[in-house]
Structure 1
Amino acid sequence: MNRMGTEGFGPRVAFYIGDIPVSETVTVTWLIMAILLVFSIIATRNLQKEAKGLQLVVETIVKVINNLTKQNMGEHNANFAPFVGTLLIFIGVSNIIGLLGLRPPTADLNTTMCLSITTFVLTQYFGVRQKGLGGYSKGFLEPIPFLLPLNIIGELANPVSLGFRLFGNIVAGVIIMALLYGALGIFTESLLGFAVPFLQAGVPAVLHVYFDMFSGLLQSFIFTMLTMVFISGAME
């Protein structure tokens, strides 16, 4: 039995540590963490009073994230900017990593559900912290106590819909691209009588731009925006 085989369109086992399988999702996530860590060190190791070059780019990104947080969560919640920025950048890089030929970690439901559960836990924590346990629980009885079960179900549905939305959009792109590459390979072999992947090298490029860049960055923005809405809504 080949331990390195694949099953459907799911993430492969990249390698084993003893008998413990380490999936492609985990290894790519480690790579993304390393890239962001190295970039952060390089971008902040020689800060100047007058920003230019890479420092100017980083400061612009920080300002955009700070403004985005203030606009959606209010000035009093500006301290959420580091979390919002980390979430936005991590998901964004994870979604576009497919441009390097790697499987996006967000194409794994485990990753997207962990991110959505993190949002859910923070929502409940800051809601209780802001309103108190009694005040926060009272919100589930509004507008009428009869709706308590529906309000609870709706609250529990938020992380599920959040995780599945991100996962569905990213894995759909992965599957479509895999099918396209396979179809082009078969077409090329049928046309020439032997496998020469010349169509696979150029035709999918436009779709890669859409699924990996446009759709990927859009989904990271949507996930982050919904996270801010859920947390700030629980605190109001």
Structure 2
Amino acid sequence: MQPIAFGPRVIFELPFLDGIPVTETVVNTWIIMVVLVVLSILGTRSFEKVPRGRQNVTELVVEMLNKLTVQTMGEDKKNFAPYMNTLFILLLFMNLLGLIGLRPPTADLNTTMALAIMTFVLIHASGIRKKGIGGYFKGLTEPFVFLLPMNIMSELATPISLSFRLFGNIVGGVIVISLAYGGLASLGEMIGLSALPIFQGGAPVILHAYFDIFAGVLQSFIFAMLTMVFVSLAME
């Protein structure tokens, strides 16, 4: 595995508008989309009254995620479950992509900021739908009117904090793992084992286990949970 650069590489350019660069973030996201579509089709095909095999797995995953949404947001907000489930699964696949040697799309601030802006829009749209425009904006003046500027700044900071938290954790792991591979490759060259990547083959396993699996799953969970909490608070 070659060391990974800080920013995503440009894979190719679309031949119009003076060439639109398509980075590995976009390509890897396409790969994940295809995988998720295929898994969704396979997992929901030929459902039976008595579940078995892949239907059991599909129903178990959906039921667990639905329960998480209901427990976090309340029974009256269970209609948010499809979006929250999709968000969590998408983030999970993105964060785990490093396990197969591809750069996680969430290591690109463009991806995390786009997801955070979607959450930001959902938060305020849900609040306005629940309280009405007047009631929602009145909430920004509580507990005191003079706190309105600070409350607005707090709301605007939400997508920034969400995006940078996810991006920072994932890109940090990418950089550390990249440096580890580069350092181990140099060590192999120093002792004359450059043709046999012995160190790269085993030593970074612990790093992958922590940054790709543990941190990847945790950050997916945190982002989805914060989305649910913020939406719930906006509707209270």
- TM-score of Structure 1 vs Structure 2, range by shorter chain: over 0.9
Contact 1:120 1:159 in 2 (8 A): yes
Residue of structure 2 equivalent to 1:11: 8
CA RMSD of the aligned region, Å?
1.3
What are structure 1's unaligned runs of at least 5 residues?
Answer: 1-5
Instruction: Give 2:160's aligned residue.
Output: 160
1:230 aligned residue: 230
Give the alignment's TM-score, normalised by structure 2: 0.95
Counterpart of 2:39?
39
Q: What is the CA-CA distance between 1:7 and the residue it aligns to?
A: 9.5
Which residue of 2 is the match for residue 137 of structure 1?
137
Q: 1:119 to 1:194 in 2, by over 3 A?
A: closer
- In 1, the alpha carbon distance for the partners of 2:205 and 2:82 equals 34
User: How far apart are residue 8 of structure 1 and its match?
Assistant: 4.2
SS of equivalent residue, structure 2 residue 191: helix
1:21 Cα deviation from its structure 2 partner: 1.2
Give 1:196 deviation, angstroms. Answer: 3.1
Q: For each residue in 1:165-206, what CA deviation from the matched residue of structure 2 results, as whole angstroms up to 9, or x when unmatched?
A: 000000000000000000001111011274532100110012
| Structure 1 SS opposite 2:140 | helix
Q: TM-score, normalised by structure 1?
A: 0.95
Matches for 1:174-213 after TM superposition, within 5 Å: 174-192=174-192, 194-213=194-213
2:188 and 2:140 map into 1 onto residues whose CA distance is 59
Matched-pair contact (CA < 8 Å) for 2:117–2:159? yes
Change (3 A) 1:118 1:208: same
Q: Which residue of 2 aligns with 1:54?
A: 54
What residue number does 2:63 align with?
63
Q: Is the 8 A contact 1:189 1:196 kept in 2?
A: no
**Matched residue type, 1:12:** R
Residue 210 of structure 1, CA deviation:
1.2
- The number of residues matched between the two structures is 231
State the 1:10 CA deviation. Answer: 0.5
How far residue 156 of structure 1 moved from its aligned partner, in angstroms, is 0.5
The CA deviation at 1:145 is 0.8
CA distance in 1 between counterparts of 2:53 and 2:121 reads 38
Once the two structures are TM-superposed, the CA of residue 146 in structure 1 deviates from its matched residue by 1.2
- In the alignment, the residues of structure 2 paired with residue 71 and residue 7 of structure 1 have an alpha-carbon distance, to the nearest angstrom, of 40
Tell me the alpha carbon deviations over residues 16-56 of structure 1, each in whole angstroms, 9 at most, x when there is no partner.
22122110000000000000000011111111111111110
Is the 8 Å Cα contact of residues 185 and 195 (structure 1) preserved in structure 2? no
Q: Percent identity?
A: 57
Give the unaligned 5+ runs of structure 2. none
Which sits farther off after the overlay, 43-52 or 80-89? 43-52
